[in-house]
Amino acid sequence: MTISRKDIEKVAVLARIRVDDEQVSALEKDLGNILDLVDQLGAADTDSVEPMAHPLDAVQRLRADEVTESDQRERFQAIAPATENGLYLVPRVIE
Amino acid sequence: MQWDIVIGLEIHVQLATRTKIFSGSSTAYGAEPNTQANAVDLAMPGTLPVPNEQAFRYAVMFGLAVNAEIERRSMFERKNYFYPDLPKGYQTTQLERPIVGPGFVDIDLANGETKRVRIHHAHLEEDAGKSLHEDFHGMTGVDLNRAGTPLIEVVTEPDMNNAEEAVAFAKKLHGIVTSLGICDGDMSQGSMRFDVNISLKPKGSETLGTRTETKNLNSFRFMEQAIAHEVERQMDILEDGGTIVQETRLYNGDKDESRSMRTKEEANDYRYFPCPDLLPVEIDDSFIDEARNSLPELPDAKKARFMEQYGLNDYDAGLLAGDSKLAAFFEAAAERGKDAKLASNWVQGEFSARLNAEEKSVADSPITGEQLGDLVVRIADNTISSAGAKKVFEALWTGEGESVDAIIDAKGLKQVSDTGALEAMVDEVLASMPDQVAQYQQESDPKKQKKMLGGFMGPLMKASKGQGNPKLFNEILVRKLGE
């Protein structure tokens, strides 16, 4: 299996990572190798194997529905780049 | 050309848990921005989610209420997309193994028929925060209090064929989740949000047409309008020989218009994968049994009981049973008032009209079911006329008085039902209106005669200062005029 430049550029956009042309060429080769390796796994017969949900053989612990967190807004907002009226400010995003 | 309309719904139901699905932050509505957004909700490095047991209990209760299979080993996936009100960069949701499997809900239609709408599945997931696009110096403000609030997303099969069915299903689902107490049902605050998938196909065709999704409808009225609007839009395109583009649309209820939000070509690639932070959740028999035992009476069972116990007809029983708070109000009024049919009429008539007019919910009603029951008693035993009853209702509603009997006394609304006194008034009035009496007696058409009786009622009510029992006046009039 190979990965195209277009795939890499698309994934980069979705992940909000900037990659230049040179990096795309390198990624094309590296990711292609990884995908080839994954392809080899496809040769294994997995018909009778249930897909694994998690590498740990354990089940999730659940929590009682009780409020355990207090308001820490000031501390969190002290490290935010911009806030106003209690809101976090971010570059304008309009869908 | 004739078209078949095909509708499927996706409904986001906010669960009424005290805390978020993956953290112990409060979910109380209306708090100051970001005072309920803590390390886990903000996706601070090093934090881990711990699921809320109550969210699972509520999801299981929902599953049982819609006749669905419960997944005993459910899993969480990450749905990746970028938006500032989603701090983690992904929504934790369920894709492969949702907690609630296939089920169904039966809806009642206006023509008296019942229709089954299948539920494909329902899954647990977290809500996002809110973005405020008002002007913050060209920036967007983000409030993350809602981020991490537990939701179940209910996905139906495309089993509905018009707006009436879709709205009936939505109302039914609203009745179920509010009866269960797993959601407050307050649509104006976004507690239930509907996405409608609509496609058209030539009448009788087996192949489904291309569908569009209209998102985030938060009232039954907007939902009905949005469906009508979208059906018309698609029909216009198809009849002009065009093709429907698969897309997500936003409907503006105030302007009755919609616009495209995104098309499939630019649709997000969500890159789902199993969430490594969460292990599979196992639900055992005792958990399910416990949830089953905690189920309250659901709308279908309540409707059947209302018909049986109170002798209500199908329509009235269905309407009252569909809203658990209205049903409780009715029961209080019917128990106290003894006359269930009359109580039902007042609950659905004057009471509901008043709530609607003031945009209030049953919970905000200034009067209690017991007070309405007391009023029903006095209407049923002829102490007051229906006009007098409306005055008493008004006084109860505005808080002018609390006791029905005290209001009746204070306002002098008690009807005179003493036949001797009423007969004397009738004699007096008839004596003063000889021409009309003669006219009446010469008339051979009973229908016209009946109409003419009205001419005597005005003076009679005046003579009795509005307190004569109109029913008795009528009886006496007919008898005396026939003599």
User: Which residue among A16, A65, A87 places its CB closest to the CB of B19?
Assistant: A65
Range in A9-23, B159-173, B180-194 with the lowest mean pLDDT: A9-23
Interface check for B273 against chain A (CB to CB < 8 A): the answer is no
From CA B120, how far away is CA B291, in angstroms rounded?
A: 21
From CA B166, how far away is CA B105, in angstroms rounded?
A: 12
Interface check for B33 against chain A (CB to CB < 8 A): the answer is yes
Together in a domain, B453 and B407: no
Residue B126: enclosing H or E segment and its boundaries?
A: strand B114-126
Together in a domain, B216 and B341: no
From CA B179, how far away is CA B478, in angstroms rounded?
A: 51
* Mean pLDDT of the B248-263 span: 85
The reply to whether residue B32 touches residue A86, judged by beta carbons under 8 angstroms, is: yes
pLDDT band at B229 (very low <50, low <70, confident <90, very high): very high
The reply to whether residue B34 touches residue A58, judged by beta carbons under 8 angstroms, is: no
Secondary structure letter of residue B415 according to DSSP: P
Interface check for B281 against chain A (CB to CB < 8 A): the answer is yes
Together in a domain, B219 and B95: yes
Q: What is the CATH number of the domain that holds B426?
A: 1.10.10
Determine which of B136, B144, B247, B261 to mutate to test the interface with A (most A C-beta atoms within 10 Å): B136
**How many folded domains does chain B comprise?**
3
The reply to whether residue B35 touches residue A86, judged by beta carbons under 8 angstroms, is: yes
From CA B153, how far away is CA B93, in angstroms rounded?
A: 9
Amino acid B191: pLDDT? 94
The tens digit of pLDDT for each residue in A66-93 reads: 999 999 999 999 999 999 999 999 998 7
Structure tokens at B219: 């009232």
Interface check for A61 against chain B (CB to CB < 8 A): the answer is yes
Together in a domain, B407 and B453: no
Interface check for B143 against chain A (CB to CB < 8 A): the answer is yes
| CA B324 to chain centroid | 10
What architecture (CATH level 2) is domain A5-41? Answer: Orthogonal Bundle (1.10)
Together in a domain, B171 and B318: no
Residues in chain A with CB shorter than 8 Å from the CB of B53 are 62-65
Write down the mean pLDDT value for chain B.
91
Percent with pLDDT over 90 in chain B = 66
Amino acid B267: pLDDT? 57
Amino acid B463: pLDDT? 82
Residues in chain A with CB shorter than 8 Å from the CB of B96 are 51
For residues B176 and B298, is the Cβ–Cβ distance under 8 A? yes
From CA B171, how far away is CA B181, in angstroms rounded?
A: 15
Domain boundary, last residue among B359, B384, B411: B411
The minimum CA-CA distance between A78 and chain B, rounded to whole Å, is 13
For residues B61 and B122, is the Cβ–Cβ distance under 8 A? no
The reply to whether residue B143 touches residue A95, judged by beta carbons under 8 angstroms, is: no
For residues B82 and B53, is the Cβ–Cβ distance under 8 A? no
Q: What are the sequence ranges of the domains in chain A?
A: 5-41
End-to-end CA distance of chain B: 67
Together in a domain, B44 and B184: yes
Structure tokens at B330: 């009715």
Amino acid B436: pLDDT? 84
Chain B: residue nearest A7 by CA? B269
Residues in chain B with CB shorter than 8 Å from the CB of A67 are 18-19, 24-26
* Mean pLDDT of the B211-226 span: 92
Residues in chain B with CB shorter than 8 Å from the CB of A90 are 84, 139-140, 142
Residues in chain B with CB shorter than 8 Å from the CB of A63 are 24, 50-53
Query: Is 60 exceeded by the pLDDT of residue A95?
Result: no
Chain A: residue nearest B72 by CA? A59
Structure tokens at B16: 């009424």
Interface check for A87 against chain B (CB to CB < 8 A): the answer is yes
Together in a domain, B47 and B99: yes
Residues in chain A with CB shorter than 8 Å from the CB of B33 are 85-87
From CA B299, how far away is CA B296, in angstroms rounded?
A: 10
- What is the domain range of residue B435? 419-482
Amino acid B307: pLDDT? 96
State the complex-level ipTM: 0.80
Structure tokens at B311: 């002798």
Does B377 or B439 have the greater pLDDT score? B377
Chain A: residue nearest B279 by CA? A60
Together in a domain, B198 and B80: yes
The reply to whether residue B18 touches residue A66, judged by beta carbons under 8 angstroms, is: yes
The reply to whether residue B282 touches residue A95, judged by beta carbons under 8 angstroms, is: no
Together in a domain, B50 and B148: yes
Chain A: residue nearest B133 by CA? A92
Structure tokens at B27: 């979910």
The tens digit of pLDDT for each residue in A17-76 reads: 899 989 999 999 999 999 999 889 888 888 888 777 788 889 999 999 999 999 999 999
Nearest alpha carbon to residue A21 among A31, A6, A34: A6
Amino acid of residue B131: S
Secondary structure letter of residue B272 according to DSSP: -
Interface of B with A in 91-130 (CB under 8 A): 96-97
Number of A to B CB contacts under 8 A, please give it: 133
Structure tokens at B194: 């509907």
From CA B260, how far away is CA B248, in angstroms rounded?
A: 6
Query: Is 60 exceeded by the pLDDT of residue B165?
Result: yes
Task: Output the CA–CA distances (angstroms, integers) from residue B421 to A77, B222, B411, B425, in the order listed.
Answer: 80, 56, 21, 7
User: Which residue among B38, B136, B269 places its CB closest to the CB of A14?
Assistant: B269
The reply to whether residue B35 touches residue A14, judged by beta carbons under 8 angstroms, is: no
Count CB-CB contacts under 10 A for residue A18: 8
Count CB-CB contacts under 10 A for residue A42: 8
Interface of B with A in 43-62 (CB under 8 A): 44, 50-56
The reply to whether residue A60 touches residue B278, judged by beta carbons under 8 angstroms, is: yes
Together in a domain, B434 and B329: no
Together in a domain, B286 and B316: no
What's B5-69 look like in SS3? EEEEEEEEEECCCCECCCCCCECCCCCCCCCCCCCCCCCCCCCCCCCEHHHHHHHHHHHHHCCCC
Count CB-CB contacts under 10 A for residue B1: 8
CA B242, B246, B250 angle in degrees (round to 5)?
Answer: 105
pLDDT band at B116 (very low <50, low <70, confident <90, very high): very high
Task: Give the up-direction half-sphere exposure of residue B386: CA atoms within 13 A in the CB hemisphere.
Answer: 7
The tens digit of pLDDT for each residue in B328-366 reads: 999 999 999 999 999 999 999 999 999 999 988 898 899
The tens digit of pLDDT for each residue in B445-479 reads: 888 888 888 888 888 888 887 778 888 888 888 88
From CA B203, how far away is CA B99, in angstroms rounded?
A: 36
pLDDT band at B422 (very low <50, low <70, confident <90, very high): confident
Amino acid B461: pLDDT? 83
Q: What is the pTM of this model?
A: 0.83
Domain boundary, last residue among B356, B379, B411: B411
Count CB-CB contacts under 10 A for residue B355: 17
Chain A: residue nearest B26 by CA? A67
Interface check for A40 against chain B (CB to CB < 8 A): the answer is no
Interface check for A21 against chain B (CB to CB < 8 A): the answer is no
pLDDT band at B31 (very low <50, low <70, confident <90, very high): very high
Structure tokens at B306: 């209302």
Query: Is 60 exceeded by the pLDDT of residue B48?
Result: yes
The tens digit of pLDDT for each residue in B293-311 reads: 999 999 999 999 999 999 9
From CA B11, how far away is CA B184, in angstroms rounded?
A: 14
Residue B436: enclosing H or E segment and its boundaries?
A: helix B434-442
- Can you tell me whether residue A40 is helix, strand or coil? helix
Chain B: residue nearest A94 by CA? B133
Together in a domain, B131 and B243: yes
Give the ranges where B314-433 is alpha helix by DSSP (H).
Answer: 314-321, 324-337, 340-346, 352-357, 369-380, 386-398, 404-411, 419-432
For residues B369 and B376, is the Cβ–Cβ distance under 8 A? no
The minimum CA-CA distance between B281 and chain A, rounded to whole Å, is 5
Does B411 or B195 have the greater pLDDT score? B195
For residues B407 and B392, is the Cβ–Cβ distance under 8 A? yes
